[in-house]
Amino acid sequence: MQDKQIYFVEHLLEWYKKNQRKLPFRETKDPYKIWVSEVMLQQTRVGAVINKIENKYLQFIERFPDIEILANSKTEEILELWSGLGYYNRAKNLHQTARIICEKYSGKFPDSYQDLIQLPGIGDYTASAILSIAFNKPYAVVDGNVKRLLFRFFYNELDQTYSEKGIKNLANELIHFPKVEPSEFNQSLMEMGALVCIYKYPKCNNCLISSYCSTKDFSKEEKLNIPPKSINPKKQIKIYIYIINKYNKLFIIKNQHLFLKNHYFFPYEIKEKKEHLEISDSPHTFLGNFKHNIMNYLFDAYIFLVNENKKNFTFYQQDKTESKWIEVSETKKYLYSSFAKKVLDLYNNSSSLF
Ligand code: SF4
C-alpha cells in the first residue's frame, strides 16, 4: 500500500503542475477570496459550469473586494449578485460570517479549524479548503471528485462497501507525506477528479496514474458504480405555481416550506396526487410546464396565470405567510432564484399573447 501511495502522490503532483487550469481563485492566497470561491465551487468543478462560477466569482470580488465591504453590504444586494448559483442560504451565511469575522476577529480570518467550523456555513469541507489553500495547513479536502478518484484508484486496498470516513482518512494520510504542499495536494486531487477521473467518462487511456489504478480495466458500467450511486433518488414533486398580476403588479409570498425557505416566490400548491393534470379543468390560464431541480427535489412545475374573475386568491392572505405586491420592474430584487426566473420567462414569453 505504501509504495502505491507514494506513486499516487508523486504522479498526481506531477500531473497537476502541467495540467492545472488557470482559474482566478488559484492566483490568490487571500483567505477571504478562497472562502468565497470554495462556497461557490461546492456545486461543481467541471466543464462549462466552472466558467459560470468563474464569472460570478470575478463579479463578486469586484463588488465586494474585502470582508469588511461584504459585512457592511445589504443582504439583498448579495443575493442579487448570487442569483443563478442556487443554494441561497450559502450567500446569507457568507454575509453573516463576514459580520462575525469583522466583529469578533477584527476582520482577520481565523486560521484554526476549531474557530472556523463555529462560523455559519463553514463545515469540514470549507474549513479544510481555507486552511490548506490559504494557510497551507495539512487538512484534506474531500469533495465528490476526490472521493471518486481515490475510491477508483485504491479500490483494491479500501473497504469496498465504501465508507466516506475511509476516504477521508486516506486523504489525510496522503497529505501528511513528506514534501507534500497541502495547498497543491488538495487542488491537484480535486482537479484530477474533475478533468480525468470523470464520473461518466473517465479518461483512463490518458491517465498518468493508470498503471497502478485498481479499476482501470473495469468496464464502463462497473466504473460508473464506483463509488456506488446514492441510494436516495430525488423526490419528485408536482407543483402548481400561480402568477397573480394586477395593474402591472405581481403578488409574491415569502416561502416558508420545502424549498427556497425565507425567499420570495410565487404562490404555489403542492399536488400530492400523481395523476395527469387536466388543464382544461383549471379555472386559470395555463402558461406551460417545466422540470426543475433543487437539491434533493425534482419539481414538475405547472404555471398558471390567475384569472381573478373566476376565483379569488385569498388563501395566502388568510394564513400568516408574508406576502407583498411588487412592481414588475422589481422582480430582479425579489425573484432572483433560477426557479423563479424560469417562471418569469414563461410569463414574459406568453404575456404578449394576452
Ligand atoms: S485509470 Fe481511469 S479510473 Fe483509474 S484513476 Fe485514472 S481515470 Fe480514474
CATH code assigned at 258: 3.90.79.10
Q: Is residue 338 part of a domain?
A: yes
Distance (Å) from CA 201 to ligand 1 centroid: 10
> What's the gap in Å between 149 CA and the centre of ligand 1?
7
Whether 230 maps to a domain, the answer reads: no
Q: Mean pLDDT throughout 270-290?
A: 67
Among 204, 224, 244, identify where a domain stops. 224
pLDDT digits (tens, 9 = 90+) for 229-238: 765 667 888 8
For ligand 1, the distance from its centroid to the CA atom of residue 141, given in whole angstroms, is: 19
Q: Return the minimum-mean-pLDDT range out of 123-127, 151-155, 276-280, 339-343.
A: 276-280
Q: 202 and 93, same structural domain?
A: yes
Average pLDDT over residues 192-205: 93
**Distance in angstroms (rounded) separating the CA atoms of residues 86 and 316:** 25
Asked whether the predicted pLDDT for residue 97 surpasses 80, the reply is yes
Q: How confident is the model at residue 308 (pLDDT cuts 50, 70, 90)?
A: low
Q: How far apart are CA 152 and CA 345, in angstroms?
A: 42
Residue 223 has a pLDDT of: 86
Section 287-308 average pLDDT: 84
> Rounded to 10 degrees, what is the CA torsion of 97, 99, 104, 105?
80
- Containing domain of residue 119, as a range? 2-224
> Considering the domain boundaries, does residue 272 fall inside one?
yes
Beta bridge partners of 238: 271, 300
Provide the pLDDT for residue 337: 84
Our answer on whether the CB atom of 216 is closer than 6 Å to any ligand 1 atom is yes
Q: Closest Cα to residue 193, out of 6, 19, 3, 5?
A: 19
Which residues on adjacent β-strands are paired with residue 303?
241, 288
Of 165, 190, 224, the one marking the end of a domain is 224
User: Could you tell me if residue 331 is inside a domain?
Assistant: yes
Q: List the beta bridge partners of residue 299.
A: 237, 292
Q: How far is CA 154 from CA 29, 148, 174, 215, 224, in A?
A: 31, 10, 12, 8, 15
Do residue 278 and residue 338 come from a single domain? yes
Rounded percentage of the chain residues whose pLDDT exceeds 90:
46
Query: Is a pLDDT exceeding 70 seen at residue 277?
Result: no
Q: Is 322 a catalytic residue?
A: no
Can you read off the three cell numbers belonging to residue 252?
A: 409574491
218 and 243 part of one domain:
no
Residues 206 and 254 in one domain: no
Q: Which residue, by CA, sits nearest to atom 3 of ligand 1?
A: 216
Nearest atom (ligand 1) to Cα of 213: 4
Specify the CATH number for the domain of residue 202: 1.10.340.30
Locate all alpha helices (DSSP H) within 20-85, ordered by sequence. Answer: 31-41, 47-63, 67-71, 75-82
Q: Please tell me if the CB atom of residue 196 comes closer than 6 angstroms to any atom of ligand 1.
A: yes
Same domain, 198 and 283: no
At 351, the pLDDT band (50, 70, 90 cuts) reads: low
Tell me: pLDDT of 316 over 90: no
Select from 157, 191, 203, 205 the residue to mutate for testing ligand 1; criterion: most ligand atoms less than 8 Å from CB. Answer: 203
Closest approach atom of ligand 1 to CA 223: 3
- The Å distance, Cα 144 to ligand 1 centre, comes to 15
pLDDT(61) > 80: yes
- Indicate whether 279 pLDDT > 70: no
**Residue whose C-alpha is closest to residue 37's, from 176, 109, 115, 134:** 134
Percent of the chain exceeding pLDDT 70 equals 87
Is 100 inside a domain boundary? yes
84 and 186 inside one domain: yes
pLDDT band at 323 (very low <50, low <70, confident <90, very high): confident
Domain match, 296 and 178 both:
no
207 lines ligand 1 (CB under 6 A): yes
- Greater pLDDT, 136 or 324: 136
pLDDT tens sequence across 107-162: 999 999 999 999 999 999 999 999 999 999 999 999 889 999 999 999 998 876 66
- Same domain (yes/no): 40, 187: yes
List C-alpha distances in Å: 253 to 22, 58, 263, 317.
Answer: 42, 32, 8, 10
What is the arithmetic mean of pLDDT over 324-337?
86
* The total number of structural domains that make up the chain: 2
Same domain, yes or no, for 251 and 142?
no
Phi/psi for 289 (5° steps) reads: -140, 160
Cell of 175: 497529505
Would you say the pTM of this structure is higher than 0.85?
A: no
Q: Which atom of ligand 1 is nearest to the CA of 152?
A: 3
Question: Mean pLDDT in the chain?
Answer: 86
Q: How many CB atoms lie within 10 A of CB 67?
A: 24
Q: Is 204 in the pocket of ligand 1 (CB under 6 A)?
A: yes
Is the pLDDT score of 98 beyond 70?
yes
Q: Are 165 and 82 part of one and the same domain? A: yes
Among 224, 248, 275, where does a domain finish? 224
Do 132 and 254 sit in the same domain of this protein?
no
Q: Is residue 229 part of a domain?
A: no
Tell me which of 10, 38, 80, 184 is the catalytic residue.
38
> Does residue 310 surpass a pLDDT of 50?
no
How does DSSP classify residue 132? I
